[in-house]
Structure 1
Amino acid sequence: MALTTDIVASYRRPRAVLRSLQGDRREARILVYLMLACALIFVAQWPRLARDAHMDETIPLDALLSGALFAWIFIAPLAFYALGGMLSLVLRIAGPVDAFAVRLGLFWALLVAAPLMLFQGLVAGLIGPGLQANLAGLPAAVAFFAVLIAGLRVALEAPHRAA
């Protein structure tokens, strides 16, 4: 299936989509998912950063954008790989777990939530900080955690299916 079709399908049935994505077990593929998610989240920051630069001219827009670029493209992928490793270690308490499936679930959850983060970034840029901007981020958080939990459940059942 196409990537966008899989993302939309993940809102309805994330476990089925994650099971189908596990067929192709290449680390490069899930790295692309992570990098796409981080790039989309970086783009989602642009309206808010433009508003911040306009309201407070002490830090120019290009400095804010370069800081966000460094954070989301270089630092965040490393942090998410570390988080995936920690989740794998924690889930080993529950039983055998497939570390690749844990990383896939985490990175896929981030990619599924990224389009909703674009909406939240637009709201934060147009109306500024406040309750409405926080509420606009709620669907992204719910989607992220729902897909992450589904991915972790699939990761826990993956070794049992292989045996």
Structure 2
Amino acid sequence: MELVTPEIGLVFWTTVSFLILLAILGKFAWKPIMTAIDERERTIEEALFKAEAAKEEMARLTSENEALLKQARAERDVILAEARKVKEQIVGDAKDAAQKEGARMIESARLEINNMKAIALADVKNQVATLSLDIAEKVLRKQFEDQGKQDQLVADLLKEVKLS
């Protein structure tokens, strides 16, 4: 039963040794332990502050990246729109130039055809005139072979001249 009801001497010496241990620990160990705990608390707070700052920086960078991405998309859309306009303008200019060139070529061909036609008509007229003269010459030679016919023709022509 000694263990259940301790003697007064045991309680006294246990209390004295506890107080001595507490005084020694307070003098030599308590300050370093508290300093280490304070230092650890400070480093944890700094780490939390840095983590919060990093989180804010990441949020800022994310928003900047979003803004840059939106700006890049807008610039891309503007560039694509300008490229489409330039393409349409080039295609339109090419069509206009092709139409003008085609019209010029058609007009040139029409003029050439008309020139060739005029040359051919002049050539045909010359040939017809030459043939007509040849035929008239042959008819007149045949008719003027006889001197009497020539005299008769001259007399008839003179009568007509006098009447007119």
TM range, normalised to the smaller chain?
Answer: under 0.3
For the pair shown, the structure with the greater C-alpha radius of gyration is: 2
Name the structure, 1 or 2, with higher relative contact order (CA <8 Å, separation 6+).
Answer: 1
Greater per-residue helix proportion: 2
